[in-house]
């Protein structure tokens, strides 16, 4: 018995997907046919915690509560570079259009 699973695209929420090779570590990639140009390619499950929206939100919340970047990275099991990039982009804007967090000296 074959089972069909509808995968929504992370960008357009469309379900017109095709399998698109595998990643170097053997995970299946998918391509959305509905997205503009060549289609958005994504993994169903990212194994790196820093890619999830929940972790990105926690990074911003910890920064607002005066937690350091290295401490945040250690607690959330992500790279300090991931924390720094997220804080530079800003808390709520869509990817690519985010503004930097303004740092005010005491």
Range of the domain at 17: 8-47
Cα(68)–Cα(85) distance, integer angstroms: 14
pLDDT at position 89 over 50: yes
Mind listing the pLDDT tens digit for each residue in 9-66?
777 877 888 888 888 888 888 888 888 776 777 777 666 667 777 888 888 899 989 8
Question: How sure is the predictor about 80, in pLDDT bands with cuts at 50, 70 and 90?
Answer: very high
Cα(47)–Cα(66) distance, integer angstroms: 28
Cα 27 to the chain's mean position, in Å?
A: 17
Q: Are residues 29 and 56 in the same domain?
A: no
Comparison of pLDDT for 62 and 91, the residue scoring more:
62
Cα(36)–Cα(17) distance, integer angstroms: 13
pLDDT at position 70 over 60: yes
Cα(14)–Cα(33) distance, integer angstroms: 8
Question: Would 74 be classed as within a structural domain?
Answer: yes
Q: Are residues 85 and 55 in the same domain?
A: yes
Considering the entire predicted model, what is its pTM? 0.50
At 43, which helix (H) or strand (E)?
strand 41-43
């Amino acid at each position: 018995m074959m089972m069909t699973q509808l995968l929504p695209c992370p960008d357009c929420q469309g379900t017109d997907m095709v399998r698109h090779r595998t990643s170097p570590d053997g995970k299946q990639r998918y391509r959305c046919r509905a997205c503009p140009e060549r289609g958005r390619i994504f993994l169903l499950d990212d194994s790196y915690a820093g890619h999830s929206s929940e972790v990105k939100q926690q990074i911003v919340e910890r920064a607002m509560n005066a937690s350091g970047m290295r401490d945040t990275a250690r607690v959330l099991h992500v790279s300090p570079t991931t924390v720094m990039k997220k804080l530079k982009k800003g808390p709520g804007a869509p990817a690519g259009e985010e503004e930097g967090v303004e740092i005010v000296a005491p």
